[in-house]
Structure 1
């Protein structure tokens, strides 16, 4: 038997135990389809469903480890279900096919480089003015 938050940390789903505890407290982690608490005891064979960003991952616990090891070792602690793998691949494909919303922005506030280029090109010379008023 082992605490859920320790196992999630050891299996490298979260960088720290505190992050794992926070995610469990927010209700983003379920054990055997039941809401869990950070101190819940888990054992090999339990099913853990966790939401990481837009993706929900479902894994079956294969082994327990009291220490956090290298990533290949941590991957030996669990086995992801086939449905979870399909869902994750479908989500990744959707992200790949959809455009980034920020890429469509053509106009906006000029960058420092844009401002320098505009000053060199001419136009209104703001450097000679001591005020932003229209009066000369």
Structure 2
């Protein structure tokens, strides 16, 4: 095989759940092959870099093996090299505190509890 359609390859290596989803991602401009925007029929070859944006995150994959049909997960993982950088650690933020509309003004005790929840402990 000299090349495989990029939408078929993305589906075969289990980046998207369906071939239709892979085709739609290509049409929407969420797939790039070697830096260029890819149409669904764009061929990929071993060594090509494929960038796919799915579910709000971008994955960068280097083609190691061509697959035209969907295979098991271990075989699919062997067909690419994942170049995606590690996600930054999540920053923990205090929970947002809201009061019910019409609940009136908070009492002094409720206000202190709210400040403590927000991380602004005024007592110390």
Matched residue count = 99
Query: How far off its partner does 1:105 sit?
Result: 5.8
What is the TM-score normalised by the length of structure 2?
0.70
What is the TM-score normalised by the length of structure 1?
0.64
Report the structure, 1 or 2, having the larger helix content: 1
Query: How far off its partner does 1:52 sit?
Result: 2.1
Separation (CA, whole Å) in 2 of partners of 1:55 and 1:99: 21
The match for 1:19 is 21
Separation (CA, whole Å) in 2 of partners of 1:107 and 1:20: 44
Which deviates the most, 69-78 or 50-59? Answer: 50-59
Q: Partner of 2:60: helix, strand, or coil?
A: strand
Equivalent residue in structure 2 for 1:89, among 87, 90, 110: 87
Query: How far off its partner does 1:99 sit?
Result: 4.6
Cα RMSD (Å) of the superposition? Answer: 2.1
The match for 1:117 is none
**Runs of 4+, deviation exceeding 4 Å:** 105-108
Q: Tell me the alpha carbon deviations over residues 110-132 of structure 1, each in whole angstroms, 9 at most, x when there is no partner.
A: xxxxxxxxxxxxxxxxxxxxxxx
Higher relative contact order (CA 8 A, sep 6+): 2
* Structure 2 residues without counterparts, runs of 5 or longer: 101-124
* Structure 1 residues without counterparts, runs of 5 or longer: 109-136
The match for 1:65 is 67
Q: Tell me the alpha carbon deviations over residues 50-105 of structure 1, each in whole angstroms, 9 at most, x when there is no partner.
A: 11233221111000112211111110110012xx23xx321xx22xx3459xx646
Which deviates the most, 49-58 or 9-18? Answer: 49-58
The match for 2:115 is none
The match for 2:45 is 43
